[in-house]
Chains A and B, each alone.
Chain A
Amino acid sequence: MHVELKDIHKSFGPVRANDGISLVAEAGTIRGLLGENGAGKSTLMKILSGFSRPDGGQILLDGAPVSVTSPAEAIRLGIGMLHQDPLDFPRLLVLDNFLLGSPGRWIADRRRARDTLSALAGRFAFTLDPDSTCASLTVGERQQLEIVRLLWLGARVLILDEPTSAISAPQRITLFAALRAMAEEGKVVFFVSHKLEEVQSLCDTVTVLRRGRVAGELSMPYATGRLVELMFGRDPQRAPRARVTPGVPALELAGVTLSDARLTVADLSFQVCAGEVVGLAGLEGSGQHQFLQACAGLVRPAAGRVRVAGHDMTGRPFREFLAAKVAYVPAGRLGEGLIPGLTITEHVALADRRRAVFVDRRAAAQSAAQRIREFGIRGTPRTTVEELSGGNQQRTLLALLPNDLAALLVEHPTRGLDVESAEYVWGRLLERRARGTGIVFASSDLDELLDRSDRILVFFTGRVAGPLDARRTSVEQLGELIGGAGF
């Protein structure tokens, strides 16, 4: 099958996730889709597989325009998608999961299905026991089940969205071999990833997406530098900056291990000093978020110690971190940072730590008005925070921070902000740094990381490289590290 996407557009509110993407994939090839988080890869593939409808553009299969209105319609057309987290039913048996979604039958032919399952699994060296429950499988095995299910349903176009993020190395080898075998059978495989090395070793052609557009298309063999450049773009302008001598440690982690369902960050030691800026680089979901939350006291490390200004705070409740002058500005400006439905005045009143029964509305409103003036927020004290634009929400978050902070932890300080707002936000952050606050921020903007940090930690699937000296690191070096080279 020959797949053609023509001028696909898709917006979510003001965000153009896909902004005129066109690409052609021939039968019997593996096509890589490479790009940062938010580049538009998943959106494009969800459109191809019927999970969402495009705002504009066309999908052509073997030259004929088709309308993919639902995942069921997609599979009828021969398009199957394997999602980042396998969409299965953990409590059901492998065989039952295999049978689910099989069309137009009241009574499932279990014996035939069992034979087909074994035959398909055998062909790709997958090890699947039809009679165990899905919950007992590893993520890799659940992927294998989903792949054979899609093939059985007649998929000739197979889409894999970040399939290797949670599977073991041997499973990855099996998976890649299976994908190559499928391509040889004449199928089209779309392989969505942000890992350079995987794309380089597996894909015949790579389409690099950046900010919803096609940044370029490369074929084997690839030059890593060129891929990095297409992925992140580049801006050779390095702004001059003031040197600040770091003071005493503001926040320290010693031998910290963080663990959640998806990821483990093991044995990490790190410190940020008063007046220092440390940047956290890495693709989203590589461990930076868990790291910042542990610094903020929102998650408890599985092992290791956390110290704030020399005091051991390991395992202390979050409010004690607040009292120890650690502040956290989360990526989710609404719903994590700010409370939708409340006004700026109400946020100010909420932050008031005095013990009083009643809210001093007038004082809160005055304080809000003053902060609005000082931070140039486009809004009034009575504006609810969801009415503010992203940039003004970020300004509001900064305006609500306490004056005196030991450590300030910020996720994506300038994401989605225009240049002027971004400059303003950094002006404010650097003011605090000059007053002796240690700042740690996560960002996916390489220029921001290199321009603003003194030191940089790079995260890749839970492992950490660095710290690097930001002044002696180039965009290329950083980009390669983020893509996993050298880990």
Chain B
Amino acid sequence: MAGVTATLGLGAVILSFLGASPLEAYRLIVTGAAGSPERIAYALTAWAPILLCSAGLLLTFAAGVWNIGIEGQVILGAICATGTLRALEHGAQGWVGVMLAGLAALLGGGGWGVLAGALRAYGNVNEIFGGLGLNFIAGSLTVYLVLGPWARTGIASTSGTLPFGDALWLPAIRIPPFVVPAEVIVGLVAVALVSGTLGGARFGLRLKAIGKSARAAYIRGVPITREMLWAFATCGGLGGLAGFVLVTGAYSRHQLFPLISGGYGFLAILVVLLAGHHAGMGILVSAFFAAVSTGSLQLPLQMQLDSSMGGIIEGMLVLVVLMLRGLLSRLAGARR
């Protein structure tokens, strides 16, 4: 809470420096995220992929690794979902195609995650560097697909593949006057499942043990390589599902396009950094990030400010909270 206050204060300083009224800017962000049922629906649409990625990252975080490759895993999920939908578009019933696309995304993202994990386990490549490399490869793959095999006929543009018809969209639940995209439910269920895994499953306990001390866990007989690969697989799978909802969500673009991951994976890393092991906290922080991200889109329209102000606020929140934590632990140390 102190972190949020300090961040808003610092943000206000920056905004005043830019000659803008901080209060007006914050009002726009709030109304931009929650000003109308439609805007709320957009904010919820942004929330779902962050939730899914955060759920996955809670696992790898518990195991003490930084799955920076989450962005690539999101992209792979989007690619696999798109590929499946293209193949089934005219063959199967809509909902069957969507379910299969979700499964393909889960497997594709999971596979990409296992790759990062295997590079670490067997190739001695730090998961941060391996993940970054795999992110680049996944990003380039989308460009290739969008310009090459999956290009729209007669158009050579990176704007994206041919959008899918609405039979292949995820449903939205109408609770007048609100509209809730179905993927939000998927995201919340994922966080709940991961939270349960970390709290009560043997897999979760083993991951925690590995995260606290891989050496001791090994000597105590925990199969650390296997569990670590499963953590990467599950995290990548959930990232892949995020890619799937980015393609099929009711308010998404219903196509594959370069940079489809949109930084949601990186944002989720920040969420987990702030939330630590607390799934509930992760839900709150990711909702805040989703709201700021969508709300700040109003800034350029109304105030001639760039929408990157949202990113500045998010980044500052992370830095301020981490700094406060550091200061507190230093104070605690000094008192001892």
Contacts and interface: CB of A to CB of B under 8 A. Distances in A.
B206 A350 contact: yes
B220 A350 contact: yes
Given A342-B208, A342-B209, A337 B219 contact: yes
A328 interface: yes
Contacts, number: 63
A347 interface: yes
A298 B200 contact: no
B186 interface: no
Given A342-B208, A358-B202, A351 B219 contact: no
Interface residues of A, number: 28
Interface residues of B, number: 19
A352 B220 CA distance: 11
A336 interface: yes
Interface string B213-236: 101111111110000000000000
A362 to B, nearest CB: 12
Contacts of A340: 212-213, 216
A341 B218 contact: no
A346 to B, nearest CB: 6
B215 A335 contact: yes
A318 interface: yes
A351 B221 contact: yes
Nearest to B203: A357
Contacts of A351: 220-221
A423 B106 CA distance: 56
Interface string A353-395: 1001111010000000000000000000000000000000000
A298 B219 contact: yes
Contact of A359 (B201, B218, B220, B223): B201
B216 A338 contact: yes
A168 to B, nearest CB: 32
A225 B279 CA distance: 64
A87 interface: no
Given A340-B212, A342-B209, A359 B219 contact: no
A358 B200 contact: yes
Interface in B176-221: 200-203, 205-206, 208-209, 212-213, 215-221
A253 interface: no
A350 B205 contact: yes
A74 to B, nearest CB: 27
Contact of B213 (A322, A339, A346, A356): A339
Interface in A52-86: none
A273 to B, nearest CB: 25
Nearest to A318: B218
Contacts of A358: 200-202
Nearest to B196: A358
A319 interface: yes
A336 B216 contact: yes
Given A322-B221, A335-B213, A361 B200 contact: yes
B209 A350 contact: yes
Nearest to A337: B216
Given A339-B213, A357-B202, A350 B222 contact: yes
A456 B220 CA distance: 28
Interface in B102-149: none
A141 to B, nearest CB: 30
B202 A339 contact: no
A335 B216 contact: yes
A353 B212 CA distance: 20
Nearest to B220: A350
A349 interface: yes
B219 A349 contact: no
B175 to A, nearest CB: 34
B273 to A, nearest CB: 18
A359 B216 contact: no
A165 B217 CA distance: 32
Nearest to B211: A341
A213 B78 CA distance: 67
Contacts of B202: 349, 352, 356-359
Given A335-B213, A340-B213, A330 B205 contact: no
Nearest to A293: B219
Given A298-B219, A351-B221, A339 B209 contact: yes
Contacts of B223: 319
Contact of A339 (B201, B203, B216): B216
* Residue among A328, A339, A346, A400 with most chain B CB within 10 A: A339
A50 to B, nearest CB: 23
Nearest to A322: B221
Nearest to A317: B223
A180 B221 CA distance: 52
Contact of B201 (A318, A336, A357): A357
B215 A336 contact: yes
A318 B203 CA distance: 20
A400 B216 CA distance: 13
B221 A319 contact: yes
B221 A359 contact: no
A352 B202 CA distance: 9
Contacts of B200: 358-359, 361
A342 B212 contact: yes
A337 to B, nearest CB: 6
A357 B202 CA distance: 6
Nearest to B210: A339
Contacts of A334: 216
B220 A339 contact: yes
B201 to A, nearest CB: 5
Given A336-B213, A341-B212, 12 more contacts: A322-B221, A334-B216, A339-B212, A341-B208, A346-B208, A346-B209, A349-B202, A349-B205, A350-B205, A350-B222, A356-B202, A358-B200
Task: Please provide the 3 A-B residue pairs with the shortest distance between their CB atoms, ordered closest to farther.
Answer: A341-B212, A339-B216, A339-B213
20 contacts: A298-B219, A318-B218, A319-B221, A319-B223, A334-B216, A335-B215, A336-B213, A336-B215, A337-B219, A339-B209, A339-B216, A341-B213, A342-B208, A346-B209, A350-B205, A350-B222, A357-B203, A358-B201, A359-B202, A359-B205
Interface of A: 298, 318-319, 322, 328, 330, 334-342, 346-347, 349-353, 356-359, 361, 400
